[in-house]
Structure formats: C-alpha cells, structure tokens
Copies of this chain bind each other. A is one copy, B any other.
Amino acid sequence: MEHRIDRIKKQLHAQSYKLTPQREATVRVLLEREEDHLSAEDVYLLVKEIAPEIGLATVYRTLELLSELKIVDKINFGDGVSRYDLRKEGAKHSHHHLVCSECGSVEEIEEDLLEEVEKIVQNEWGFQVKDHRLTFHGVCKQCQTITVSASS
C-alpha cells in the first residue's frame, strides 16, 4: 500500500500537485476498496471515517484530479452517478466491466480484449485510439445458476 501511495505521490509531484492529507486519505480509501466501484458520495463517506473534517467538494476535486492524471477512471454504468475506478499500476487503458442486470454486481476484466478491435478502428476509420470504455451488460455466472435452479 505504502509503495503505491508513494508512486501516486510522485505522479502528482511530476505535475506539481501535492499529496495533501485530504488527497492521501482519498487515495487510501480507493486503494482499500480497489475492487469496488464507488461513487463520489461513497468515497466521501469512507474518507470521513479516517479524516472527518474533509468536505464533499474536496473529494470531488480530488477525484477529478486523479482522473485527469489517469490514476483513476471515471466510469458510468447508466445509473445517474459517476464511479471512480483505480487503474492498475502501469495500465494504459481503462479495464473492462461486466455489469449484471439481475443482481447489479460488477466484475472486472483486466486483460485487454480490444487490441485487435483497436487496430481495425485505427486502420479502417483512421481514428487514433488513446483509451476506451467497454462495459458488457448481461447475466453473471452466479445469477445464471440461480435462474436455472429456480426454474426447475
């Protein structure tokens, strides 16, 4: 954990931003809940536990900043809120998501499945791809089994 905080600190410094206590607390929450897809409000409530004096606007600003620096990805699954998803160290792209329409769970795919597709987009549309957002909507493994056993 400390190692990653340190790396993020360096990334901030490289753009002459500081890792203030509030920013550090926010990053810690994101690291602790790496598997989750927290909204700004979610992050705010969790950060308040370790830094009770923080303001919601600061959390928004921090997330926005981390987003610009590509430390987190701002994603949107179609409910009204933006969610913030920490990138793996050194990852060039936002990872993919599997959203289950039955139970609402969100799985992550870290493997980049779009390399071939991006080549096609690059060559056939002349579009220079920098990043992507890919989300699949459907039914997760878990919910498929439930449905099957329920219907028998």
A residues contacting B by CB (< 8 A) are 74, 76, 78, 98, 100-101, 107, 109, 113-114, 116-118, 120-121, 125-141, 144
Residues of chain B contacted by A135 (CB below 8 angstroms):
132-134
| Bound Cα distance from A130 to B138, whole angstroms | 5
A121 touches B133 (CB 8 A): no
Q: Which chain B residue lies CB-closest to A141?
A: B126
Smallest CB separation, A135 vs chain B (Å): 5
Q: Given that A76-B78, A78-B74 are contacting pairs, would A129 and B120 also be in contact in the complex, using a CB cutoff of 8 Å?
A: no
Chain B residue numbers with a CB within 8 Å of A121 are: 98, 109, 113, 136
Contact partner, A139, options B114, B130, B141, Cβ 8 Å: B130
| A100 to chain B: closest residue by CB | B127
Q: Are A137 and B131 in contact (CB under 8 A)?
A: yes
The answer to whether A134 and B137 touch across the interface, beta carbons within 8 angstroms, is no
- CB of A58 to closest CB in B, whole Å: 19
Given A76-B76, A78-B74, A125-B109, CB of A118 within 8 Å of CB of B130: no
The complex places the Cα of A131 from the Cα of B138 at a distance, in Å, of 6
**New contact pairs (20) apart from A127-B138, A132-B137, A134-B134, CB-CB < 8 Å:** A74-B78, A76-B76, A98-B121, A98-B125, A109-B121, A109-B125, A113-B117, A121-B136, A126-B140, A127-B139, A127-B140, A128-B139, A129-B136, A129-B137, A130-B137, A130-B138, A130-B139, A131-B136, A133-B133, A133-B135
